[in-house]
Amino acid sequence: MLLLRIVLSAAVTFEGLSYIRDPHATSGTVLSGLAMFIAAGLLLIGYLTPIVATVVGAGVIGVAASLLPACAPSLLDSKTTLVFALTMLLVVTVLGPGAFSLDARMFGRRQIFISRPNEDV
């Protein structure tokens, strides 16, 4: 999970960098880029990971559906890359941040105990 969070945060950081460095950047694209930097940092340290991954996934879908402003040279221009990014975000959202995260330190690790069925039945 740590490696998955690192790869996702790197991708979101590069996407945010392309938003900020866009020569035709508007205030909306610059704010989107700054929000991506914040989200990438939160994903990297594993703080509020399911919430942040859901918000980033909604942003990626919004850019793909042209509801949010996009920059010209985007990391997620290809539909294949978009599907891979959304799949990884879904995995992080469902599985959580993992053992090496700030969430695990703050809230504790979750353990699932499966009890044995009663054999007296």
For the chain, domain boundaries: 2-107
Helix axes 49-64, 27-45, angle to 10 degrees: 150
pLDDT over threshold 90, residue 39: yes
Position 68 scores a pLDDT of: 74
The model's pTM: 0.79
For residue 38, what pLDDT is reported?
96
Query: What is the pLDDT confidence band of residue 119, given thresholds at 50, 70 and 90?
Result: low
CA angle 104, 109, 112 (to 5 degrees): 155
Q: Quick: pLDDT tens for 49-92.
A: 989 999 998 988 888 787 776 776 677 777 888 888 889 889 98
The C-alpha atoms of residue 64 and residue 70 are separated, in whole angstroms, by 9
Say how far apart CA 73 and CA 14 lie, in whole Å: 11
Q: Which amino acid is at 75?
A: L
CA 21, distance to chain mean position in Å, is: 21
